[in-house]
Amino acid sequence: MRIALDVHGGDIGASRNIAAAVQTRADPTIELILVGRRQEIEAELKKRSTAAERFEIVHADEKIGMDESAVQSVRRKTDNSISVGMELVKRGDADAFVSAGHSGAVVAAALLTLGRIPGVSRPALGTRIPATTRGKVAFALDIGAVIDPKPEMLLQFGYLGTAYVSAVLGVANPTVALISNGEETSKGNALVRAARDLFEATDLNYIGYVEGRDMLHNPPNVTVTDGFTGNIGLKVAEGTAAALSDVIRRELTAHWHSKLLALLLRPTFGRIRDQLDFEGIGGAPLLGVNGVVIVAHGRSTPRALVNAIRTAQHAAEVDLPSLLQGAIPVPLADADAGSEPISSVAPVGK
């Protein structure tokens, strides 16, 4: 499986991406294509005493910074590492593309280069949620690609999520819910209430509203939300888990005796970490474009990037774009999909 990796993606940049690449090198099923500035890539590989010949390098001269405008930077910097990676997928030179870069730029470049699957109005970013119920598969979308969606788009997300979770994550007839400010059907903002009516009229395994507190504790298989709420909800969960870990670490290392006890509890804390592991979830698939594109967190560690690469591999193995092709019933599909100009579909601000 040939997977292109955006070497300049993420808040840290080349070093973490190359570290992740080196970690996957032992796996013969993955051929990585490193996309970015050749000199930087070779320098990073040299630091790790890894011969550059062991990876394919595709030079891209420009980087898109995390604070640049998504659409403008993709258009102006034609030779940027994100767009070059997408081109590899489009031409069939890569089976998938992974980037921890500017998620808005990734979505814009994917739309511009790969285009949408017929019937999809806007592609959505989905992610696995680490559920505390053992073995439970929880997936949420959109987490940031479509900030002000229409109700019909939320319904499309429901179909895309259902197809992904059943085909890629192996859950038959997954449960689908809308996240809302209460479980009663009367709750919800105008968007969610309109979407609720649409979901109720489908053959999706729609189970109603779920609340924020269910997100980790008792989640449905597919949680559907707009990109604004999804982004905030996910980051609140990440931030709360990180804050709690910080407090635990600070308290446990405050005294020599608690430090000693913490040392003895290390395996236990390891298991705790594994159960609420945002790094292990393996990047966010961009659902609804003609190709396998995985967006990794901008703060990804090498371990998180390796997991994103494995997600990309798996999605390419099952041929995700073909699977999603028929996911949305014809009457609900957006007839204009694929024909809109990039400027009107650009999803993330700036």
Binding site for a copy of itself (CB under 8 A): 67, 69, 132, 144, 147-148, 179-182, 184, 186-190, 192, 211-217, 226-229, 231-244, 246-248, 251-252, 254, 257-258, 261-262, 264-265, 268-269, 271-272, 275-276, 348-350
Question: In angstroms, what is the minimal distance from the CB of 122 to a copy of itself?
Answer: 14
Question: In angstroms, what is the minimal distance from the CB of 188 to a copy of itself?
Answer: 7
Question: In angstroms, what is the minimal distance from the CB of 48 to a copy of itself?
Answer: 30
Separation of alpha carbons 73 and 102, rounded Å: 10
Paired with 206 in beta bridges are 176
Q: Are 309 and 288 in contact (CB under 8 A)?
A: no
Torsion on CA atoms 193, 195, 199, 201, rounded to nearest 10: 80
Separation of alpha carbons 339 and 252, rounded Å: 57
Closest of 140, 160, 93 to residue 337, by C-alpha: 160
Q: Which is nearer to a copy of itself, 78 or 240 (CB)?
A: 240
Pairing of strands 284-287, 124-128: antiparallel
Q: Which is nearer to a copy of itself, 212 or 326 (CB)?
A: 212
Q: Which is nearer to a copy of itself, 21 or 70 (CB)?
A: 70
Question: In angstroms, what is the minimal distance from the CB of 274 to a copy of itself?
Answer: 9
Q: In what order do the strands lie in the sheet with 284-287?
A: 56-59, 31-36, 2-6, 96-99, 293-295, 284-287, 124-128, 139-141, 222-224, 176-179, 206-210
Q: Which is nearer to a copy of itself, 69 or 290 (CB)?
A: 69
Question: In angstroms, what is the minimal distance from the CB of 71 to a copy of itself?
Answer: 11
Q: Which is nearer to a copy of itself, 25 or 217 (CB)?
A: 217
Q: Which is nearer to a copy of itself, 211 or 317 (CB)?
A: 211
Question: In angstroms, what is the minimal distance from the CB of 193 to a copy of itself?
Answer: 8
Q: Cα–chain-centroid distance for residue 58?
A: 23
Q: Are 143 and 270 in contact (CB under 8 A)?
A: no
